[in-house]
A and B are shown apart, each in its own frame.
Chain A
Amino acid sequence: MDAPTSGRRRATRSALVGVFLCALSVPAGAQSIAVKGRIVHTMAGAPIENGVVIIRDGKIAAVGPAATTPIPRGLAVREARVVTPGLIDAHGTVGISGLLNSPHDQDQLDHSTAVQPELRAIDAYNPYDKLVEHLRGFGITTVHTGHAPGELVSGQTCIVKLRGNTVEEAVITTEAMVAVTLTTAAHRRDKGAPGTRGKAVAMLRAELVSAGIYLQKKETADESKRPDRDLKLEMLGRVLKGELPLLITADRAQDIASALRLKDEFKIRVVLDSAAEAFLMLEEIKRANVSVIVHPSMQRAVGERENQSFETAAKLHQAGILVALQSGYESYVPKTRVALFEAAIAAANGLTFGEALATITRDAAKILGIDGRVGTLEVGKDGDLALFDGDPFEYTAHCTGTIIEGVVVSDQPR
């Protein structure tokens, strides 16, 4: 059933949610469900009119036109006007930088020292933060979250599904990337380092060189001569070995150039983050075969982002660069943005509907290395869906349901 389109007082809403849940008659935790959509955007081929997605034990068992995709008897069925893959927020801090913005719920940045790749995101993620529920209500099912831009190497990121009582139940990639900041946000105003762009890059290079030496020494034949285990160098060593990429936040064109230079020097994997002036560096980024997780379209255009454009995602896409969108990190109101709305602005500024949807589904999954299980509606992939009563990008449409691995995790029209 389509959700009613009008808002209402919370009490009324709660009552209605109750009705919806009864109507579904699916026991809590059930992982099998069928979803009928007037349009199903699989993101793997053309949209299917009057399509059906069948989820069995959390995985997609079938997807196709209703006429040729029978719904097994007894399976709970939901309907929606528009069905998309569960949405992926390619970079945020939800669950780590909490709603209240008070010291007790802010774990995205430790300022004790500038380089701390050993800080794990999983040790800070709070699946009960209200913003987790907030994003889930808009169809977001997967978030790449972790340490924020603001220190030269602020820590690790992880990838979670927006479910679960513990991070263990939520996480799908424990160590996703190592977050590096090449903007002035990482500069220290006192006498600490880095204080300049040149110093920031020098420090990063020195750390990577040290990690290379550490790796070599670890291979020493004589065990007694091997260095003690060092979490910092170990993690940077994994970056050197190509096991995970650096997520480099850079906005000014010269900082984007620095990120590409580092990639070239150390032969490491790099994903560009934010990249406000990426439209000035299209050829270079393309040539370096680097993907970009563009800043939220609507983030404030101040400071080093003064030149940011609503059209950046479109320009990158048109240049043949893999692009995703994100909720980002901001230290004030609104505490998180919603990747769905950021993609909507991209859809209104140069990307087609399908291209914009890809930035928060298929292409986001590719950049995050999780395209084997999420991002498209294909047999064998996770049963993660977002349901809408209209064009998902329209302000006045609603997300009417969110499903993660066959479980309805949000039912309140938003």
Chain B
Amino acid sequence: MRLSLTKEPGLVRSSFTRPVLVALGVFAASPTVPAQEEPLAFTGAHLIPIVGEPIDGGTLLVHKGRILAAGAADAVPIPAGARTIDVAGKTLMPGLVDTHSHIGGIGGADASGPLQPDVRIHDSLNVRDSGFMRVRAGGLTTLNIMPGSGHLLSGQTIYVKVRKAGKIEDMFILDAGQRPMGGIKMANGTNPQGEPPFPGTRGKAAALVRQQFIKALEYRDKLERAGDDPDKRPARDIGLEAVVEALDGRRIVHHHTHRADDIITVLRLQQEFGFRVVLHHVSEAWKVADEIAKARAPCSVILVDSPGGKLEAAELIFDTAPILERAGVLIAFHTDDWITDSRLWFRMAAFGVRAGMSRKAALEALTLNGARMLDLDQRIGSLEAGKDADFIVLSGDPLSVYTKVEQTWIEGMKVFDRSDEKDRLYATGGFGAGHDQEPYFCCFDHDQAVQGEEH
């Protein structure tokens, strides 16, 4: 049920229906123009396009940062002037999409209060953090970088492509209005609990969150009533602005929640306020899979090697993935990097399969379904004509422990190559791998500049 203050009082939204406004926001330009001028044809690969069946000996054709075609060799003619790259024996699939990452030296909300919607995570990120190199080495191309879960609302998240970048703006993904895309990070359960002003109980936590959303509804109402009259407009509040964007569905709420009752509480608040939500972690989703399915709430799942480590993850099991799949829930996985290392993310999908998830669902959960949860599925997540040329070259089956990510490409630009010793260091680890990466400058011969430098 929605409050009368909302724009469309008659409408009960499902937890994730995309508003028309956002659907128009696709195909926006990226901040950096890809320099790749000649078409590239990757031939001979085992293609896993995600949409459609895998293709042996397939061809992927990319140009100017976009995919021109992906399909069987005889269905994809290679245009004159194209450069052919033989990847016979390799596996090609879309770059991975991580709905929940903490890399880049995040610093979101501080200890001053439990709800800080004014804080933008991108104001804290260091693009030279070595974490970005490891992310590329893991085959990840798009991330939702979020503040932590120690708050009921810890700030605004940012969706990024891990392009080679000199500043965080170079990694932004822009919407149709040229605004950087991102969500809102929220959490319930035990992580946000603490001494006042933090909540001491679950009941208090929900009350604080409801009050925050009601404030935002009133703020939006005042803005609407003021119309174009600047005298009537309330003073600008950058925190409430972000919450209003969530209420309007322009900012998805990414909600940390583990225990079954906490998951249900998120759905209850979603029903009251109508924001769009992705449930993250969901250790006990296996207990309430039908309720989640009924609410049509997408789940971004984490699977780790053992349960426990904190009370609300005490009943985490691999079976969550197949149970949610059978219930018909939209599932993605996430790294939660540093909780799990981005270079080892494929194993999470493989553990889903180990527990009985279908292979198809497991691979979608690393790619297209993550894109769906970030409103980016028109643009990334599968190898389809018109989508961004974000893809990875693997040495074999993505779900095998022995497989290596050999190359990572973003918008037609190679951002990781395992055959390059410098890149390989970040793939394997070793001396220097944990240090911040070398600065990246456009039009600057970096190799020459650092010659002879001791590491």
Contact = CB atoms under 8 A, between A and B. Distances in A.
Contact of A348 (B306, B318, B401, B435): B401
Given A99-B314, A100-B311, A301 B339 contact: no
Interface in B392-420: 399-402, 404
A298 B341 contact: yes
A330 B404 CA distance: 27
A307 B310 contact: no
A308 B356 contact: no
Given A348-B402, A393-B401, A395-B399, A311 B429 contact: yes
Interface magnitude class on chain A: 35 or more
Given A100-B314, A396-B350, A310 B429 contact: yes
Contacts of B434: 301-302, 305-308
A338 B306 contact: yes
B311 A102 contact: yes
B429 A7 contact: no
A206 interface: no
A269 interface: no
B311 A394 contact: no
B307 A395 contact: no
Interface residues of B toward A: which range? Answer: 35 or more
Given A7-B356, A301-B434, A396 B304 contact: no
Contact of B399 (A98, A344, A396): A396
Contacts of A336: 305-306, 308
A7 B357 contact: yes
A277 B354 CA distance: 33
Contacts of B404: 348
B140 interface: no
A25 interface: no
Interface in B304-333: 304-311, 313-314, 317-319, 322-323
A397 B399 CA distance: 11
User: Which of A6, A131, A333: most chain B Cβ within 10 A?
Assistant: A333
B27 interface: no
Given A7-B354, A10-B319, A395-B401, A279 B306 contact: no
B429 A101 contact: no
A310 B401 contact: no
A273 to B, nearest CB: 18
Contact of A349 (B338, B356, B399, B428): B428
A8 to B, nearest CB: 6
Given A7-B357, A309-B433, 15 more contacts: A7-B319, A7-B354, A99-B306, A300-B341, A302-B338, A308-B429, A309-B430, A330-B309, A334-B309, A336-B305, A347-B401, A348-B401, A394-B401, A395-B346, A395-B353
21 contacts: A8-B356, A99-B314, A102-B311, A134-B306, A300-B341, A301-B341, A305-B434, A306-B435, A307-B430, A307-B433, A309-B433, A311-B429, A311-B430, A330-B309, A334-B307, A334-B309, A344-B401, A348-B401, A393-B401, A395-B353, A398-B354
